Amino acid sequence: MTQDGTPAQAGLENLLHESRSFPPSPEFAAQANAQPALYEAAAADRLGFWADQARDLLTWRKPFTETLDWSGAPVARWFADGTLNAAYNAVDRHVAEGRGDRVAIHFEGEPGDTRTLTYSDLLREVSRAANALAALGVSTGDRVVIYLPMIPEAVIAMLACARLGAPHSVVFGGFSADALRSRIADAEAKVVITADGGFRRGAPSALKPAVDEALVPRDGVESPVAHVLVVRRTGQDTAMAEGRDVWWHDALESADVTHEPVWVEAEHPLFILYTSGTTGKPKGILHTTGGYLTQTAYTHKYVFDLKAESDVYWCTADIGWVTGHSYVTYGPLINGATQVIYEGTPDSPHQGRWWEIIEKYKVTILYTAPTAIRTCMKWGEDIPATFDLSTLRVLGSVGEPINPEAWMWYRRVVGGDRTPIVDTWWQTETGAIMISPLPGVTAAKPGSAQVPLPGIVADVVDDEFRSVPDGGGGYLVLSEPWPAMLRGIWGDLERFKDTYWSRFPGVYFAGDGAKKDDDGDIWLLGRVDDVMNVSGHRLSTTEIESALVSHDAVAEAAVVGATDETTGQAVVAFVILRSDHAEALGTTDEDEIIQILRNHVGKEIGPIAKPKRILVVAELPKTRSGKIMRRLLRDVAENRAVGDATTLADSSVMDLIAKGLSK
């Protein structure tokens, strides 16, 4: 259901007729980290359960005595009087406890170059990077923006910041210079860590020029950034600003290989990650240290059944997204896992690249997104069939609802009809997995995230905040605070309260619609607000609309997420051009105009936000109060008969749009 009452993804209604169920095999259940007793322990004493996890999974410098302080709700304080360091937990202690020779990262570059980093290697690199950052003036509390491809330095940079207690803010490498600029400004970052470029689809793709552009003073305001640390990855020609830019390898070469981590309080900010909301301005989601690390480590251990000594884990997410934070950098390293990091796209240089990587590194746990699975389905199952995937034992899915067909394909073709699948629901805001089957315990249902994890309390409620009965649908809420929950929106407490805590007083409103089936299991139905989910990436309709109207040729724009077979949703924009648009665009050719506007959105936000379709229209459907009726536009975008249009101020508008499109 969306705000205006339609299912965000029409096909999802079919989910509720899905009745297949896959219980764990007795062999898997017997060896699983998660046993039914985990639910019982959490139910018996929820806070005690979390305190146990925090003590078991993390090494504290100073032990905490209080588990949760909710007196400042909705800003939680977890384990607040304890102190620790995230990098120490992710790296140093493994070395100190004799696990230094274990491989932390198998890196596979897109061109085929490889690197292996043990935990000892990681400790040396992270320590040097922390010293290098300190030499550039970064100290505890300073913000550092990271804008890197998926190379080991991305993880090293994050941990080096954490080591100093300097919150990082990773900006996805696919975002534009403008998007980077606004995030740097909002976080008031002192240093940016970037690279000359990365390899993408067989060619080097530059990153540094976007940083240069983002740092140019605008409207008389100087950039807060004093230094840029540049990793050499592609060897492209790179302009270096004297006195400002420093090569990473130069800075690290002269840096000491030891560094004393800064012990911070559990509530010390670990990172800010910007994500799309329902307004044009991205929100800086703030996460702190102790609670976040506890829950990422806990979920990584139990949801993926991680056996650190023997598993080879691979999460395909980019560190630019929260999944890369929690399930590439923090969760796996805290748990001492061995993982694969791959730089490029699944089809470079051939469509079997992922399966080849799984065979090569004998990957046992794979965590990816439904959109990737659907893409591989389209390419055909004979491609994975030529590789040995028999090492796989757990498969995970995240980012959007997974349709049962994709789930079944994932299990049969990738998992050899044998592996459990965990469909994990969570958000940038929740910090870690919240709702998911536990392999070895839960009988999995294709398409359902099913049950809140032990220690998590969630519900589905109706408009009046009544818990819906089994079989009913409504809104997903999280009823009790959880350790990895966001602690706010950077610099905007009011927006934090407003966005998440005002729809239903006292509980967290996730923005997702959901249903309970007859067993009480939860099925996610997509966003109920103006947030779209394209290939598992969150995009805001309003943000793309503002990007479109920022072009001189555009008078008005409305953006909807239309159901798309591969990407889940696709961005479809309706624009009204200004009467003098020919002047601004230098053309009247509609195809050219559409191309110009698509590129404009790419420049304003990033290529991922480019509308798949742009439809030039004469009018937009609006209610009498002036609100655009996106529901009707979605009908058009999805080639459906247009629904009830009686609340339109001018009921002839839809005919006009339809006529215009059939021209």
Contact residues for ligand WTA, defined by CB under 6 A: 275, 321-323, 398-401, 423-428, 449, 510-512, 524, 526-527, 533, 538
For ligand WTA, give the closer residue by CB, 191 or 414. 414
Q: What residue type is 75 in one-letter code?
A: V
- Is residue 277 part of an annotated ligand binding site? no
- Is residue 55 part of an annotated ligand binding site? no
Cβ within 8 Å of residue 389, ≥6 positions away: 355, 358, 359, 414, 415, 416
Q: Where are the beta strands (DSSP E) in 391-530?
A: 394-398, 421-424, 458-461, 473-478, 488-489, 508-516, 522-527
CB of 349 to ligand WTA, least distance (A): 29
For ligand WTA, give the closer residue by CB, 285 or 575. 285
- Is residue 263 part of an annotated ligand binding site? no
String of b and e for 147-157 (b: at least 16 CB within 10 Å)? Answer: bbbbbbbbbbb
Helices then strands, counting H and E runs in the chain, come out as: 23, 30
CB of 436 to ligand WTA, least distance (A): 8
CB of 552 to ligand WTA, least distance (A): 32
Residue 401: asked if its preceding bond is cis (omega within 30°), the reply is no
CB of 626 to ligand WTA, least distance (A): 28
Pairing of strands 103-108, 338-342: parallel
- Is residue 640 part of an annotated ligand binding site? no
Tokens of 75: 């800003």
For ligand WTA, give the closer residue by CB, 121 or 529. 529
Residue 26: asked if its preceding bond is cis (omega within 30°), the reply is no
Nearest to 369 by CA among 557, 515, 566: 566
For ligand WTA, give the closer residue by CB, 41 or 468. 468
- Is residue 323 part of an annotated ligand binding site? yes
Q: CA-CA distances (angstroms) from residue 553 to 426, 604, 618, 660?
A: 39, 15, 14, 19
For ligand WTA, give the closer residue by CB, 108 or 423. 423
For ligand WTA, give the closer residue by CB, 231 or 539. 539
Side-chain-side CA neighbours of 120 within 13 Å: the count stands at 7
- Is residue 295 part of an annotated ligand binding site? no
- Is residue 163 part of an annotated ligand binding site? no
- Is residue 428 part of an annotated ligand binding site? yes
Task: Please name the residue ranges forming H helices in 106-258.
Answer: 119-135, 152-164, 177-187, 208-215, 248-253
Question: Cα–Cα distance between 632 and 616 in angstroms, integer?
Answer: 16
- Is residue 93 part of an annotated ligand binding site? no
CB of 426 to ligand WTA, least distance (A): 5
CB of 57 to ligand WTA, least distance (A): 20
For ligand WTA, give the closer residue by CB, 251 or 486. 486
Question: What does the DSSP 8-state code read for residue 260?
Answer: P
CB of 146 to ligand WTA, least distance (A): 17
CB of 193 to ligand WTA, least distance (A): 22
Q: DSSP for 578-604?
A: -TTHHHHHS---HHHHHHHHHHHHHHH
Angle at 49 between CA 43 and CA 51, to 5 degrees: 155
For ligand WTA, give the closer residue by CB, 294 or 326. 326
Q: What residue type is 462 in one-letter code?
A: D
Cβ within 8 Å of residue 69, ≥6 positions away: 76, 77, 78, 80
Interhelix angle for 37-44 vs 46-57, to 10°?
A: 120
Cβ within 8 Å of residue 261, ≥6 positions away: 85, 87, 88, 92, 130, 163
CB of 137 to ligand WTA, least distance (A): 32
- Is residue 113 part of an annotated ligand binding site? no
CB of 8 to ligand WTA, least distance (A): 8
For ligand WTA, give the closer residue by CB, 199 or 274. 274
Cβ within 8 Å of residue 196, ≥6 positions away: 204, 206, 207, 208, 230, 231, 232, 233, 234, 235, 236, 238
- Is residue 425 part of an annotated ligand binding site? yes
- Is residue 468 part of an annotated ligand binding site? no
- Is residue 24 part of an annotated ligand binding site? no
CB of 302 to ligand WTA, least distance (A): 16
- Is residue 512 part of an annotated ligand binding site? yes
Tokens of 608: 């991922």
CB of 368 to ligand WTA, least distance (A): 12
For ligand WTA, give the closer residue by CB, 134 or 534. 534
Side-chain-side CA neighbours of 347 within 13 Å: the count stands at 9
For ligand WTA, give the closer residue by CB, 92 or 512. 512
- Is residue 538 part of an annotated ligand binding site? yes
Question: Cα–Cα distance between 354 and 413 in angstroms, integer?
Answer: 13
- Is residue 427 part of an annotated ligand binding site? yes
For ligand WTA, give the closer residue by CB, 17 or 624. 17
Summarize the annotated binding site for CoA as residue ranges.
Answer: 200-203, 323, 535
Summarize the annotated binding site as residue ranges.
Answer: 200-203, 323, 399-401, 423-428, 512, 527, 535, 538, 549, 551, 554
Summarize the annotated binding site for ATP as residue ranges.
Answer: 399-401, 423-428, 512, 527, 538
Summarize the annotated binding site for Mg(2+) as residue ranges.
Answer: 549, 551, 554
